[in-house]
Amino acid sequence: MSTSIKKTQRHGKAKYLQGDFFSQKNGENFPYKSSYELAYLNLIEIDSTIIKYIYEPFELYYIDVNGKQRIYRPDFMLLYSCGKIEIVEIKPKAMLKDFDVQSKARSCKLYIEENYRNINISYKFVTEKDLFNSNKEYQDFLKSTKI
C-alpha cells in the first residue's frame, strides 16, 4: 500500500486530508477526500473477505434540506468473497442525523430496493467509531500521514 497526500484543503474551519491511495487489491489509484476515507481504504485493503472495491461507484439524486435536487455519490461499493455487496458512506458520527445525510441514505436504499432485489446488497455508514478505538489512535494516524 502506498499513499500520496496531494493536499490539505480547508472547507469552512475544518481541514480535510485529500490525496491518492494505491490499491494493491485493485491495481489502481483511488482518491480520498478525508482522513476517515484514507483510514477506511487502509482497512478494506487488508480485509481478505473484500475482493474488490470501487470508489464513488454511481450517482443518485436526492432532495436536500432546501427542497433542491442534488447529486449523491456513495463513497464505496465493496464486493465480498461470499458474494455480498455493500454500499458504504463515510461520515463523522455527529453528522448521521443531518437531513441531507439521511436524504442521501434514503435515496440509495430506495435505489437498491428498486434495482437489486435478487442481490445481497446493503447500505451502511462507517464513522470514526468504526475506524479508531480512541481519539489518541486517530491522532496517531494523522501524525503518520504527516499532515
Go through the domains of the chain in sequence order and give each one's CATH number: 2-144 (3.40.1350.10)
Grid cell in block for residue 114:
428498486
Q: Which residue has the higher pLDDT, 136 or 117?
A: 136
3-state secondary structure of 64: coil
User: How far, in whole angstroms, is CA 27 from its chain's centroid?
Assistant: 19
pLDDT cut 90: percent of the chain above it: 74
Q: What is the pLDDT of residue 122?
A: 94
- Examine the pLDDT at 111 and tell me if it is beyond 50: yes
Residue 79: Cβ within 10 Å count: 16
pTM for the whole structure: 0.86
20-51: burial string, b at 16+ Cβ within 10 Å, e else = ebebebeeeebebbbbbbbbbbbebbeeeebe
- Examine the pLDDT at 12 and tell me if it is beyond 70: no
